[in-house]
Amino acid sequence: MKILAIESSCDETAAAVIEERDQRPVILSNIVSSQIKLHKAFGGVVPEVAARAHIEQILPVIDESLRKAQTTLLEIDYLAYTYGPGLIGSLIVGVETAKGLAAANGIALLPMNHLEGHIYAAFADAVEEPAFPILTLLVSGGNTLLILMKDHLRYELVGRTLDDAAGEAFDKAAKVLGLGYPGGPIISKLAQEGDDSKYRLPIVDLTPRPVRDRDGYLVKPAPSLDFSFSGLKTALITLVRTKTKLTQREKKDLSASFEKAVVETLVQNSTWAIRKYQPKTFVLAGGVAANPKLRERLGEEIGNLFPQTSYLIPQTSLCGDNAAMIGIAAYYRIRNSRLILKNSRGLTAEPNLKIA
Ligand code: KG4
């Protein structure tokens, strides 16, 4: 069985071919054409520019993915594509291309949720299939979510950001520090040479305050698993305003202190969620999962506090947006017969598509 997967939800045009071997999905090709250079000049993704670049790139990227996999459309059994969430103009290009290719070549269509792709990226090189329940911290430019799965393709949202996503916070902080786009990789590189205890930035805890019951006892609410990064961003802006000029040393120390606040917030809520839901597997997924400090700190905490939970991170090339992750999620959808297009849902782009 061969799957051609297409991903175009934001600023990467991507196509991949996945083949089933020994009842596991194997990546035959995974081509990503990044638009970072186009958007850099604007300091962030410009939706109109992104959509136009997808139109130019999508067919060459699909051709290359087929060539690299040494296959043709005639051998493809399923065409999986992201139909949300994401930028409407970007999504439409992938959706319409998939529909056209499927109709012209008689291939079955599989509309996929971009977020389930991020989670299933962790299934790519796992030696054994990850055990359920699986708890995923999904951190990207547009999302910060804690998702519980008791079985394949069944998602329960147990925590989410109330404002900015973690990746968005990194990107905005980089802008404030005059560092360029995308901010996450630049900040994490500078942070390696900075002092993370130089500035104390807030590690946000949204747990409501304890209240007294009628007998006068303090009742502590369960920890909140939701996130908020907008206050941290404001704290950084306020700090930077106190300085007339930022030296390179200060940029390094501010990057390290900012990264620490984001990472420790993510680690804090993840450990609370693991304690509550006792997953057999914890997955760190999404573009921000490429952050070395986050990978290391979560590994330390899980190793020390929850040695019975396995900790899984996709290889770095599968953390950011790519089509292999969409193809792998599609593989499990086919295998679990939660198939294939039966109605019109997924035939149009859904920019605000939810996972649960
Ligand atoms: O998953 P992704 O490629 O696209 C979305 O679906 O959003 O994630 C991109 C985000 C950007 O905000 C980028 O700054 C962040 O991931 N990112 C990082 C790192 N590498 C990428 N954030 C922190 N540290 C990194 N090393």
Q: What is the pLDDT of residues 145-171, one digit of tens each?
A: 999 999 998 999 999 999 999 999 999
Q: Which atom of ligand 1 is nearest to the CA of 319?
A: 1
Determine the average pLDDT of the residues in 118-142. 93
pTM, entire model: 0.95
pLDDT in tens, 47-84: 999 999 999 999 999 999 999 999 999 999 999 999 99
> Of all protein residues, whose CA lies closest to atom 14 belonging to ligand 1?
184
Ligand 1 geometric centre to CA of 181 (Å) = 10
pLDDT at 217 over 90: yes
CB atoms near residue 104 (< 10 Å): 9
Which whole number is the average pLDDT over 128-151?
96
State the pLDDT at residue 125.
80
The answer to whether residue 343 scores a pLDDT higher than 80 is no
Give the residue, by CA position, lying nearest to ligand 1 atom 8. 287
Q: Which two tokens stand for residue 293?
A: 């400090």
Q: φ and ψ at 349, to 5 degrees?
A: -70, 140
Buried b (16+ CB within 10 A) or exposed e, 293-322: bbbebbeebbeeebeebbbbbbeeebbbbb
| 70 CA distance to ligand 1 middle (Å) | 31
Q: Output the pLDDT for position 187.
A: 98
Q: What is the pLDDT of residue 344?
A: 62
| Residue 214 phi, psi dihedral angles, 5° rounding | -65, -25
User: 248-277 vs 292-305: helix axis angle to the nearest 10?
Assistant: 30
User: Are residues 282 and 274 in contact, defined by beta-carbon separation less than 8 angstroms?
Assistant: yes
Please tell me the distance from the alpha carbon of residue 215 to that of residue 217, in angstroms, as a whole number: 6
Quote the CA–CA distance of 16 and 155 in Å, as a whole number.
Answer: 24
For 278-331, what is each residue's pLDDT tens digit? 999 999 999 999 999 999 999 999 999 999 999 999 999 999 999 999 999 999
Instruction: Examine the pLDDT at 251 and tell me if it is beyond 80.
Output: yes
| Ligand 1 atom index nearest CA of 165 | 12
Mean pLDDT taken over the chain? 95
Find the residues whose C-beta lies inside 6 A of ligand 1: 10, 140-142, 167-168, 170-171, 182-185, 188, 286-288, 290-291, 320-321
Arithmetic mean of pLDDT, 235-239: 96
Q: How confident is the model at residue 341 (pLDDT cuts 50, 70, 90)?
A: low
| CA 163 / ligand 1 centre spacing (Å) | 17
Q: Sign (positive/negative) of CA torsion 278, 281, 287, 288?
A: positive
Distance CA 91, CA 82 (A): 7
Higher pLDDT, 271 or 335: 271
Mutate to test the pocket of ligand 1, among 170, 255, 316 (most ligand atoms within 8 A of CB): 170
How far apart CA 59 and CA 17 sit, in angstroms, is 14
Rounded Cα distance between 7 and 326, Å, is 7
Nearest atom of ligand 1 to the alpha carbon of 182: 14
| CA–centroid distance for 243 within its chain | 34
Angle between helices 183-191 and 166-176 (to 10 degrees): 70
Q: Whose CA is nearest to atom 7 of ligand 1?
A: 141
Q: How far is CA 280 from CA 118, 133, 134, 137, 309, in A?
A: 19, 6, 6, 14, 5
